[in-house]
Structure 1
Amino acid sequence: MPPPAFGHAPLPGLPAHITVWEVGPRDGLQNESTVLPVAVKAELIERLADAGSTVIETTSFVHPAWVPQLADAEDLLRTIERRPGVRYPVMVPNQRGLDRARVLGVQDIAVFASVTESFAVRNLNRSLDESLAMFDPVVAAARADGIRVRGYLSMCWGDPWEGAVAPGQVVDVAIRLRDMGCTELSLGDTIGVATPGRVVAVLDALTAAGVEIADVAVHFHDTYGQALANTLTALQHGVVTVDSAAGGLGGCPFAGSATGNLATEDLVWQLDGLGVDTGLDLGRLVDTSVWLAGRLGRPSPSRVVQALSGGRT
């Protein structure tokens, strides 16, 4: 691939290997105007596994009235072939979502919390405290069944209604999610306003409060072009799990200023150049995003996909 041909050189403080948590099939497709058929979604997941993805966030059991793009969650989970060594987490908003997922043999779920009051009300139609109270029995029931639970924290660096978010707000929600049983915490820059110094401030506040950095993932959006810089900073401060979406898909349907996720291809290009192992095949990822762009009827926003696709997107 091109990165080895151009050489690579490490930087101090980086891990030798990271886990890329692929969110394209869920967080990516939920914000696309084109609703893809189950067969195309299943092929996307298969292609991502072929490219080396070991964690593929597959779908969400949110009510179809809220996210119609993912209304086929059950059909999709019945269609895909789950490979040994690959995790297929799904989002669940409540107990009913967990029940639906459990019937289909799901072993990884995620709950989606807000660190701000405004977004909790707009996204979940509940106050922050009410939303966490709703998640508590869901997490407990999942853990009792041996299901891993990820806790998403949205608006960790900024909220379109409240402005800048203090690190203490993130710490408060993170500890509450951890204490209810979440096995991993993903810090979301939902509207893409974080910058590296503010990333460090939140990570330092979490570790000072006793949160293990090994249990923290980062989830950056590229609204202001900062996702790669913020990710590199997080890795230099001990984070080893990064969320990204093939082709830079996605956003948040409940936060109008949120643009696409960090593109998996852009992340892999950078980490290949730094000698950090992701286990991912960049060429296969690019081919997948070119193929997907054709199904969505629009080009991929990923710079690396554009550079390596030879005009195919």
Structure 2
Amino acid sequence: MAATIYLHWSATPYTWVRSGAYHTIVAGDGHLHRLHSYTIDLNAHTWRRNSNAVAISCACMGGVPDPWTIPPTDAQIEAMCREAAAVARSWGWSADDITIQRVMTHAEAASNRDGRILHDNYGPVAWGGSGERWDFMQLRKGGPDDGGAVLRQKIRAYLRGEAPASGSTGSSSGSMAPAPLAFRRRSTMTARSRQLAVEIDIHGTSWALAADLLSLYDIPYEWNPLQRRLLIGSNDVAPFYRDDAVQESIGHPLFEMALQGGSAPVILRGILRPDAAAAAARDAAGDATSGAAFSRAWCRVLEFAEEFGISVTYQPFALGERRGG
């Protein structure tokens, strides 16, 4: 089956987060919870359409008895469309590729609006279905049934680098890239009785090279530069799905750290920063290789410790051993 992006709502409150069903869940404030690698097939998001597919869902429409008491927010809609555009871009798609055959709402898939699979119509009653799934048929209560078309228009605009036009969900935030998080100084800290090189950002948060942290705790890993992913060989880590996970708004390219095998749950997200020494050596040698090839993966030290069960002490900030290992 051709690669497809499916857009869902979860029929839950805005804060709902649960792994297994969707690759990414968008909270009510637009915060992204990327729960599984986009290279992994999940089994239960879109009936008969789970292979070679990505599922992005907004946590909303969980009002009882009226789902519209928890409607999709403007922030969710824009964040979902930005993320869908990022996935499409990673697959080499252009704005012209964003068609109903490649990006669909669950309402459209349930009603087989693309004509791909002739299954029973479990989509909106208004489209001749049983009404089981009607995700994003409308973007607001009582609105037109053009939700999928509006979402695809927004995704195309993000792919073109444009600010999506205001639509039925209100005004958008534009597409100007955020200023990268600034780092103010280099330092060291103690980790397992050794010295760990860190960088301190303008908020006082400590960052370290992910490779240094993983090597320090003897955790095997494999770096995939094309997918910007660190695959971790560990069977004793349970992801937290943090509310404060690193977001695109930090202004640096992101990478994800995921567990190997299964549904590849994402442990944490970090940033890619240029390696100044490697770039200088490249320039001195007259190497024309892109600077992106010399970026290195950084993650927040405290977040890494919490995800991997590492003991932490403060004043001074230091890392100890992994709990139980």
TM-score by length of 1: 0.26
Q: Quick check: which one's strand share is greater?
A: 2
Higher Rg:
2
Higher relative contact order (CA 8 A, sep 6+): 1
Q: Quick check: which one's helix share is greater?
A: 1
TM-score by length of 2: 0.26
